[in-house]
Amino acid sequence: MTATLTRDAPAAAPKPPAQRPRRRLSVPHLLLIPAIVILLVGMGYPLIWQIVTSMQEFGIKQQFGQPAPFVGLANYFSLATDPTMWEVVVRSIAFCFITAAVTLVVGLLLAVLMTAVGTVVRLILQISLLLAWAMPVVAAMTVWIWLFDRRRGVVNYLLDMIPGVDMNRFSWLSTPITFFIVASVIVIWMSVPFVAFSVYAGLTQVSEEVLEAAQLDGANGVKRLRYIIMPMIRPVIMIVLLLQLIWDLRVFTQITMLQDAGSKSSEYDLLGTYIYKLGAGSQDFGMASAVSIFVLALTLAISWFYVRSLLKEDEQS
């Protein structure tokens, strides 16, 4: 793969948007003011509070007005030495990578499928995906829990009909493995529409002429996919993957609702529910804040591939 394949010349040729030195001073800053103000108001204070609290001993007594002793990095040290924390971290990363990867692959395949079928079939597929996408999370979770219900769930009923399979009353939410399979299936179901639509949008932008030229030059389907289509939709895939990674790492509502229906045990925790349990559950806000800051760092580390290219791009332009 060479860089020349990334995009045909006409697309990249126009001058970069940045060449407008005469407006250098005030206009862009003015334009940014509303966004900066709302971010400072809405997120600034909570973020600072979180950083400060992560270095304090802050429990329910502090919440009721007692002074919070400054403990430096003690919360972080006790996190680092807590095996439960590391189990949750490893589990979350595994869940996040697997779920995001499967989401991406399924989304990609569905996008390709959309381009390969007739208009009517494509519309049917798009509308089903759209309906799934439009389902509010709490409503969707309720339905899925009902589908996987131990006694009267359709999933068990249908699986049980397969000869030789005994799934009668199989309790999906009672072992961590099956619990996270269910969670993963649900998250994938919810996220694939977004991926599929975005990639499909990207695919429809691939220039027909280039493909035809490649075909004339003897490139077969696989080669065209690998050398022309993939590089062209790569930016879409990158950003979609990044978003999936961010979202899947801190997935909360889905896990907490499954826990309500299954088990509250810490073996079923991911980072989102772990933070919530520490904070809202155990009123240990110092530790909860420390985990939050850790998750922020972890997300940054995972998405570094993107952040770095973003920064480089900025330097170049």
Partner 1 sequence: MTDTSLNTHVIASELAPAPAPIPTAPETQPQKLTRLRFRPARILLSILAIVVSVAWVFPVYWMLNSSLLSNRTLQSFIPTFVPIGGSFENYANALENGTFYSALGISLSVTLIAVFFCLLFAFLAAVAISRFRFKGRKSFVLAVLIIQMLPAEGLFIAQYKMVSSVGLLNSIIGVSIIYTAAVVPFTIWMLRGFVAGIPADLEEAAMVDGLSRTGAFMRITFPLLAPGLVASGVFAFLQAWNEFTVALVLLPAEDMHTLPLWLRGFIQASATRETDWGQVMAASTLVALPVIVFFLIVQGRMTSGLVAGAVKG
Partner 2 sequence: MKRKYAVAAIATAAALVLAGCSSTGGDAASTESAKGQDITLWLMGGDTPDTLRDYLKTEYKKATGGTLKIEEQGWGDAVAKLTTALPDAANTPDVTEIGNTWSPTFTNAGAFTDLSDMYDELGGDKLLKSFVEVGEVDGKQYALPYYFGSRYNFYRKDIWSAAGKTVPTTLAEFDETVKSLKTDTQSGFYIGGSDWRNGISWIFANGGDLAKKDGDKWVGTLASDETVKGLTEFQSLFEGASLAPATEFDSTPWVNINNNEATGVPEAATIIAPGWAHWSIGDLAPDPKDATKTVATWNDDTFGTFVLPGVDGGAAPVFAGGSNIAVSAASKNQAGAKELMKIIFSEDYQTLLGENGLGPANLDYASALGDDQFAKALVESAAGSKLTPAAPGWAAVEGAGILEEFFGKVSAGGDVKALATEYDEKLDKLLN
Binding site for partner 2 (CB under 8 A): 60-61, 63-67, 69-70, 150, 171, 173-174, 260, 262-267, 277-278, 280-284
According to the binding rule CB under 8 A, does residue 218 interact with partner 1?
A: no
Which of partner 1, partner 2, none binds 265 (CB below 5-8 Å, type-dependent)?
Answer: partner 2
For the record, the structure tokens of 247 come out as 């979202």
Neighbours of 258 (CB within 10 A): 23
Q: What's the rounded Cα separation, in Å, for the pair 182 and 162?
A: 19
According to the binding rule CB under 8 A, does residue 68 interact with partner 1?
A: no
The only residue of 65, 119, 177, 218 in contact with partner 1, by rule CB under 8 A: 119
Partners of 70 in the β-ladder: 56
Q: Which residues contact 259 (CB under 8 A, 6 or more apart)?
A: 268, 273
Which of partner 2, partner 1, none binds 131 (CB below 5-8 Å, type-dependent)?
Answer: partner 1
| Least separation in angstroms between CB 64 and partner 2 | 4
Q: What's the rounded Cα separation, in Å, for the pair 75 and 85?
A: 12
The only residue of 68, 93, 98, 132 in contact with partner 1, by rule CB under 8 A: 132
According to the binding rule CB under 8 A, does residue 140 interact with partner 1?
A: yes
According to the binding rule CB under 8 A, does residue 271 interact with partner 1?
A: yes
Q: Which residues between 234 and 263 bind partner 1 (CB under 8 A)? A: 234-236, 238-240, 243, 246, 250, 252-253
Which of partner 2, partner 1, none binds 10 (CB below 5-8 Å, type-dependent)?
Answer: partner 1
> Distance from CA of residue 167 to its chain's centroid?
31
- CA distances in angstroms from 62 to 68, 74, 77, 223, 229, listed in the order given: 6, 17, 21, 63, 57
Q: Which of 78-86, 97-105, 175-183, 281-289 is the region at the interface with partner 1 (rule: CB under 8 A)?
A: 281-289
What is the per-residue binding string for partner 1 in 30-49, x denoting contact by CB under 8 A? -xx-xxx-xx-xxx-xxx-x
- Name the residue among 118, 117, 94, 98 with its Cα closest to residue 106: 98
CB 298 within 8 A of CB 249: yes
Q: What's the rounded Cα separation, in Å, for the pair 294 and 52?
A: 14
Q: What's the rounded Cα separation, in Å, for the pair 69 and 60?
A: 13
Per DSSP, the three-state class of 214 is: helix
DSSP code at position 243: H
According to the binding rule CB under 8 A, does residue 188 interact with partner 1?
A: no
- CB closer to partner 2 out of 253 and 299: 253
| Least separation in angstroms between CB 190 and partner 2 | 22
The only residue of 134, 223, 265, 267 in contact with partner 1, by rule CB under 8 A: 134
For the record, the structure tokens of 44 come out as 């600034």
The only residue of 88, 110, 182, 187 in contact with partner 1, by rule CB under 8 A: 110
| Least separation in angstroms between CB 172 and partner 1 | 15
The only residue of 21, 65, 67, 72 in contact with partner 1, by rule CB under 8 A: 21
Q: Which of 77-85, 97-105, 172-180, 266-274 is the region at the interface with partner 1 (rule: CB under 8 A)?
A: 266-274
Q: What's the rounded Cα separation, in Å, for the pair 162 and 169?
A: 15
